[in-house]
Homo-oligomer: A and B are copies of this chain.
Amino acid sequence: MDKDLVFKALADPTRRLMLDEFSECKEQTLYELTARLIMRHNVSISRQALAKHVDVLEKAGLISSEKRGKYRMLVFNNEPLRTVMDRWIK
| 17 A-B pairs with C-beta separation under 8 A | A4-B13, A7-B7, A7-B10, A7-B11, A7-B16, A10-B10, A11-B11, A19-B88, A20-B88, A23-B88, A23-B90, A78-B88, A78-B89, A81-B85, A81-B89, A82-B89, A85-B85
| Interface flag for A40 (CB, 8 Å) | no
Q: How far is the CA of A16 from the CA of B87 in the complex (A)?
A: 10
Digit string of A3-46 for contact with B (CB within 8 Å is 1, else 0)?
A: 01001101101001001100100000000000000000000000
6 pairs of A and B residues whose beta carbons are closest in the complex: A11-B11, A23-B88, A7-B10, A78-B88, A81-B88, A7-B11
User: Which B-chain residue is minimally distant from A76 (CB atoms)?
Assistant: B88
**Size category, A interface:** 10 to 19
